[in-house]
Structure 1
Amino acid sequence: MVLTLLIIMFVLLLMGFPMMISMMLAPLAVLILYFPNINPHLMTQHLIAGVQPFVLLSVPMFIFAADIMCAGQIAKRVLYFVETFVGHIKGGMAITTATACTLFGSISGSTQATVVAIGRPMHAKLLESGYREKDIYALIINSSNIALLIPPSIVMIMYAVVTGTSVGELFIAGIGPGLLILLIFSIYNYFAARHYNIPVTPKYTWKQRFQSIREALLPFGFPVIIIGGIYTGFFSPTEAAAASVLYALILEVFVYKSVKIKEIPDIALSTGLITAAVFILVGAGAAFSWVISFARIPQMITANVLGPDPTALWVLLMVTIFYFVGCMFVDQLIVIIILTPIFFKSAMMAGIDPIHLGIVVTLQAAIGSATPPFGCNIFTACAIFDKSYMEVIRGTLPYIIMYVIVSAIMIFFPEIALLFRDWAFR
């Protein structure tokens, strides 16, 4: 049965069908071949049910807010703020890039939006500062992945939908690992700059720094709205998403005047196209999960991979390996939709906190966004910098190693992953 499912999916992909078609046709074929007494129309019901959770309303709104910000000035103001404070130290421009990606990720929640908004202006500055092309691309695409851990995170929302865990707790828990990755990236780039003797940029005056603070003050309202609103209970995650759209419109249209009202329909259309693709994947994933659960495929896989009574450590190691490999080849949302129902029950039986598991899963999704062969940030960078695939991925290995180290830390020291969650909700 499992072999039939995999062969059909593989053949359909080789024939050029989109992943969403493979995810629907392969389980439908399994249902018809192995369970002829089951009405195939049930798959349609589960496909529709997959996009009904209320929290999914936050996905298009976070995407819309990110699209508005990419068309405006918010990214430039965040960049200028960071550069005035750290640009003059050794490796300062690289640290500026990583920090700006983290901050913009806390505003937009999108890795690809971060590659575009921060990568474009920083590419030229890093080149002028003496950085090598391969190091620049690796820095940009991997730093942008921190957006998956710093709220708002669409990957976390999807994990919460599949498992029924709290989006708010996931958002708060992701802050610690995200900041840890930023710290490790900064230390690495500091010593790399010393090794390659990268020159430093002139130090900004305190007058310029205060000016940058004034310019960045309003954009920093986004994390206050999202994190502060959820933490205080003033907003649900969905309401925070709606508030972020309104705030983005107010800033870019009325305060900065960088986006014209007549441009909003085109931005909304772009958001709609992305949202449609995401929701089709979510619906297909829900139908796929129902079929494999009905066929008891998760139990067969976990019995062979995890054994009858796995420890928490063994479950987390297997989760890391399966999600890491899966995200190398397939979009992170698809991997979460397919693999999470397989491992979640075993993880709960092993006593793993569902929020801790969510952080480990999100980390693998972050690695997958920049890992060959099919990391989405790689192709985004190829498009916006007009560079070949091999040029973009040449310098990624050190960052992948750093991500793996952070994954190990999260596995062996779960209190780090849960530090902010426990502080905020317990």
Structure 2
Amino acid sequence: MAMTLMLIMIGLLLLGFPMMVPLITAALVGFIMMFNGLGQMDTFIQQVLGGIRPASLIAVPMFILAADIMTRGHSANRLIDMVMAFIGHIKGGLAVSTATSCTLFGAVSGSTQATVVAVGSPLRPKMLRAGYSDPFTLALIINASDIAFLIPPSIGMIIYGVISETSIAELFIAGVGPGLLILVLFSAYCLIYAYKNDVPTEKKASWSERLTAVREAVWPLMFPVIIVGGIYGGVFSPTEAAAVCVLYAVILEFIVFRSLKLPDMSSIAKSTGLITAVVFILVGVGNGFSWIISFAQIPQTILDAVGINEMGPVGVLISISIAFFIACMFVDPIVVILVLTPIFAPAIESTGLDPVHVGILITLQVAIGSATPPFGCDIFTAIAIFKKPYWEVVRGTPPFIFILVFAAALLIAFPEISLFLRDIAFN
């Protein structure tokens, strides 16, 4: 049965069907094989509806809506201007500014694809004019945008928290350390690249210009303060934080900045609705698919075959990292989290691993796979936005992938990187 479902999904993916079609088809075929027909279809439908029932999922469309509003407004440009004012003049400063801007906007939006659009569109032309190669520029934008997976708010963390019944608030705070670690590693590589290729520096901003940039960026910088501060100050839950984030985005872009007008809300709502529909279909069907493979004991068979039950905690973490990394090279990250998390749940529980630490490692692997050939989703976002051929987009990714894999190894070796802020906040 496992081989049949795998062949169905791979075959439909190769034929070009969107991810929801292979997932739905495989789930239905698995249901028919188990129950000899569709006579008990109401059971499967209950599982699908159960996947989208958790109240925590309300945060997903809220964060998507907030990200859409900010992407079309002025928030991204103000954050970019502030970062450039302080570090744009150092050697490699423009590249470091790009990575930092991706991190900041990721903390504002929680969306990797929104970050690619919002930060990549204005900064890519500047980097090309400054002498950076296009493959390096594209790879930096794609991979630095994936830090948004780790810095709260993260849609991937919300999905993992719902599936694994792990505290989303703890996941949010635990992602900050690894996200900043990756930013430091990327910045170091950008400096090395700039010195090696003798990239010229930008004009140094005056202190008055810096103060102006900070003053203009204060409003967008309040997003992570509201989200993180509100959650850990006990003011509201992660779900309520998402609603507050939308309200703040509307006030900021429609009233304070006046970058958007009321008629724009129609297209923004339509875009958010389409993305949300896709996400919730994947979540619902993914839950049904996970129930089917669990009922058929496919996860137990696979884990027994690879001998994971005899592995220690480190071996389990390495196995999880490899599985999620490879899967996200081919399949949508949300689907991978939905399908693989229940498979590894027994091994995680039996080895006593901290589910928050596992969640951060899974989120990092999802981020790596999303920017890794052949089918990383952020690669195709960059192709669509920048109108560049596939090979041009992926040519500069290997060094960044190596850095991300190195960061994953550090997380496995030193769990405190992801857990020290969590322990401070909740212990």
Q: TM-score, normalised by structure 2?
A: 0.98
Instruction: Give the whole-Å Cα distance in 1 for the aligned partners of 2:180 and 2:327.
Output: 25
Instruction: Give the whole-Å Cα distance in 2 for the aligned partners of 1:318 and 1:240.
Output: 34
Q: Deviation digits for residues 143-165 of structure 1, max 9, x if unmatched?
A: 00000000000000010011000
Q: CA deviation at 1:261?
A: 1.0
User: The residue matched to 1:160 in structure 2 has which SS?
Assistant: helix
Instruction: Give the whole-Å Cα distance in 2 for the aligned partners of 1:85 and 1:7.
Output: 52
The 5 Å alignment of 1:244-255 reads 244-255=245-256
What one-letter code is carried by the residue in structure 1 that aligns with 2:411? M
Aligned partners of 2:372 and 2:401 also within 8 Å: yes
Aligned partners of 1:24 and 1:284 also within 8 Å: yes
What one-letter code is carried by the residue in structure 1 that aligns with 2:351? A
Instruction: Give the whole-Å Cα distance in 2 for the aligned partners of 1:12 and 1:83.
Output: 45
Aligned partners of 1:306 and 1:314 also within 8 Å: no
Instruction: Give the whole-Å Cα distance in 1 for the aligned partners of 2:58 and 2:321.
Output: 29
Aligned partners of 1:109 and 1:153 also within 8 Å: yes
1:174 is aligned to 2:175? yes
Aligned partners of 1:306 and 1:318 also within 8 Å: no
Q: Name the % identity.
A: 54
Instruction: Give the whole-Å Cα distance in 2 for the aligned partners of 1:402 and 1:416.
Output: 16
Aligned partners of 1:32 and 1:40 also within 8 Å: no
Q: Deviation digits for residues 349-396 of structure 1, max 9, x if unmatched?
A: 111100000011000111011101111111111111111111111100
Aligned partners of 1:306 and 1:315 also within 8 Å: no
Task: Name 1:18's counterpart in structure 2.
Answer: 18
Instruction: Give the whole-Å Cα distance in 2 for the aligned partners of 1:346 and 1:247.
Output: 41
Aligned partners of 2:185 and 2:403 also within 8 Å: yes
Instruction: Give the whole-Å Cα distance in 2 for the aligned partners of 1:298 and 1:402.
Output: 31
Q: CA deviation at 1:214?
A: 0.4
Instruction: Give the whole-Å Cα distance in 2 for the aligned partners of 1:115 and 1:418.
Output: 28
Aligned partners of 2:308 and 2:316 also within 8 Å: no
1:3 is aligned to 2:18? no
Instruction: Give the whole-Å Cα distance in 1 for the aligned partners of 2:94 and 2:76.
Output: 15
Task: Name 1:30's counterpart in structure 2.
Answer: 30
The 5 Å alignment of 1:376-395 reads 376-395=377-396
The 5 Å alignment of 1:199-348 reads 199-348=200-349
Aligned partners of 2:411 and 2:418 also within 8 Å: yes
Bigger shift: residues 36-45 or 394-403? 36-45
What one-letter code is carried by the residue in structure 1 that aligns with 2:114? A
Bigger shift: residues 22-31 or 353-362? 22-31
Instruction: Give the whole-Å Cα distance in 2 for the aligned partners of 1:163 and 1:260.
Output: 40
Aligned partners of 2:107 and 2:151 also within 8 Å: yes
Q: CA deviation at 1:15?
A: 4.4
Q: CA deviation at 1:233?
A: 1.3
Instruction: Give the whole-Å Cα distance in 2 for the aligned partners of 1:142 and 1:21.
Output: 28
Instruction: Give the whole-Å Cα distance in 1 for the aligned partners of 2:266 and 2:255.
Output: 16
Q: CA deviation at 1:47?
A: 0.6
Instruction: Give the whole-Å Cα distance in 2 for the aligned partners of 1:19 and 1:41.
Output: 23
Bigger shift: residues 360-369 or 35-44? 35-44
Aligned partners of 2:308 and 2:347 also within 8 Å: no
The 5 Å alignment of 1:120-199 reads 120-199=121-200
Gaps of 5+ in 2: none
Instruction: Give the whole-Å Cα distance in 2 for the aligned partners of 1:307 and 1:250.
Output: 51
Instruction: Give the whole-Å Cα distance in 2 for the aligned partners of 1:185 and 1:366.
Output: 14
What one-letter code is carried by the residue in structure 2 that aligns with 1:8? I
What one-letter code is carried by the residue in structure 2 that aligns with 1:416? I
The change in CA–CA distance for 1:376 and 1:338 in structure 2 (over 3 A counts) is: same
User: The residue matched to 1:260 in structure 2 has which SS?
Assistant: coil
The 5 Å alignment of 1:97-108 reads 97-108=98-109
Q: Deviation digits for residues 156-197 of structure 1, max 9, x if unmatched?
A: 001001100001000000000000000001111111111111
Deviation above 6 Å: which 4+ runs of structure 1?
none
Instruction: Give the whole-Å Cα distance in 1 for the aligned partners of 2:27 and 2:77.
Output: 46
Count of residues in correspondence between the two structures: 426
Instruction: Give the whole-Å Cα distance in 2 for the aligned partners of 1:187 and 1:312.
Output: 31
Instruction: Give the whole-Å Cα distance in 1 for the aligned partners of 2:11 and 2:318.
Output: 30
Bigger shift: residues 17-26 or 189-198? 17-26
Instruction: Give the whole-Å Cα distance in 1 for the aligned partners of 2:344 and 2:51.
Output: 19
